[in-house]
């Protein structure tokens, strides 16, 4: 093989290699992502499987996981008690499509004998400088519809309903809640801080059981200039703690901690790129012989 032909082969190999790496990184960045919110009062810790692969391990009540990438297409999400064998019967199993470049929140609420499962499609596009984007989710089972107010914006939601995203000025807000047919005077509602150019979700979780203190709000900063942990914050001194709710002494670990979602899209793309580079080097060696 003459030098000219060898050079042409090497240049074409480099171009193909760069194109393949670019495509793999682009695909990795576009993979759908999902997270899970454990809002089921009295339900034990859960394991969440996607296509029989453990994604979220031993999550407890009130916990909001990080987003994890999954492959696009039909995916089966299985909810199981933490630590049981994958061969044991599942508590709930749902198959749904997951689309490229989309983000989803899986909600788990209800009781042991009546688990409620539904999926939210998230819109984490930043709203722009000088504003914040917010939505509200009613995830409190066996609880009547409620009017939620933040600033001058009010939305009335029933269980499993989600508001539209709306815009508010950055700042600190005191949410106001009015349950239909119920007088509440002791519900603990912490202040909500909305930072500039951020996306936020407010979850109402728990269940009424004739005790308004069994309800509480969780806040999640889904996107923004910086994000705060989503796990519940310590109760202030003297505040009423919802019955049966134990405040963890230390922050829960970052999820997902185990197989199935431990590689970010960028890491997957880098691994694919490294494999292609290795193949390219082998090709160069063959071409030079």
- The DSSP code sequence of 166-221 is EEE-SEEE--EEEETT---S------EEE-TTEEEEEEEEEB-TT-GGGEEEEEEE
Would you give the DSSP letter of residue 112?
T
Residue at token pair 């596009």: 125
What are the tens digits of pLDDT across the range 112-156? 677 899 999 999 999 999 999 999 999 998 889 999 999 999 999
Is the backbone peptide bond immediately before 167 cis, with ω within 30 degrees of 0? no
* Mean pLDDT score, 193-221: 85
**pLDDT at residue 120, rounded to an integer:** 97
Q: Number of C-alpha atoms within 13 angstroms, CB side, residue 67?
A: 21
Burial 2-17 (b: 16+ CB within 10 A, else e): eeeeeeebeeebeeeb
Residue 196 has pLDDT above 80, yes or no: yes
**pLDDT at residue 278, rounded to an integer:** 72
Under a CB-based contact definition with an 8 Å cutoff, are residues 31 and 70 in contact? yes
pTM score of the predicted model: 0.70
What are the tens digits of pLDDT across the range 43-85? 889 999 999 899 999 999 899 999 999 999 999 999 998 888 7
78 closest CA partner among 64, 67, 62, 92: 92
**pLDDT at residue 114, rounded to an integer:** 75
Distance (Å, whole) CA 173 – CA 198 = 15
């Amino acid at each position: 093989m003459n030098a000219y032909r060898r050079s042409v082969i090497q240049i074409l190999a480099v171009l193909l290699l760069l194109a393949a790496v670019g495509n793999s990184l682009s695909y990795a960045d576009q993979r759908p992502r999902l997270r899970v919110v454990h809002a089921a009062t009295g339900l034990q810790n859960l394991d969440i499987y996607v296509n029989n692969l453990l994604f979220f391990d031993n999550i407890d009540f009130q916990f909001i996981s990080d987003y994890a990438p999954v492959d696009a297409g039909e995916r089966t999400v299985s909810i199981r008690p933490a630590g049981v064998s994958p061969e044991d019967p599942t508590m709930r199993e749902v198959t749904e499509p997951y689309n490229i470049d989309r983000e989803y929140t899986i909600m788990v609420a209800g009781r042991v004998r009546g688990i409620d499962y539904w999926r939210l499609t998230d819109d984490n596009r930043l709203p722009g400088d000088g504003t914040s984007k917010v939505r509200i989710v009613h995830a409190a089972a066996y609880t009547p519809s409620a009017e939620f107010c933040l600033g001058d914006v009010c939305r009335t939601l029933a269980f499993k309903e989600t508001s539209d995203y709306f815009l508010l000025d950055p700042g600190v807000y005191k949410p106001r809640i009015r349950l239909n047919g119920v007088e509440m005077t002791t519900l603990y509602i912490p202040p909500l801080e909305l930072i500039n150019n951020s996306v936020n979700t407010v979850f109402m979780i728990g269940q009424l059981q004739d005790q308004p203190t069994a309800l509480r709000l969780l806040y999640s900063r889904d996107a923004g200039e910086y994000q705060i942990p989503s796990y519940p914050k310590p109760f202030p001194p003297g505040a009423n703690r919802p019955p049966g709710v134990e405040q963890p002494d230390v922050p829960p670990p970052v999820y997902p901690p185990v197989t199935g979602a431990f590689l970010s899209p960028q890491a997957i793309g880098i691994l694919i790129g490294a494999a292609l580079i290795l193949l390219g080097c082998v090709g160069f060696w063959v071409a030079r012989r």
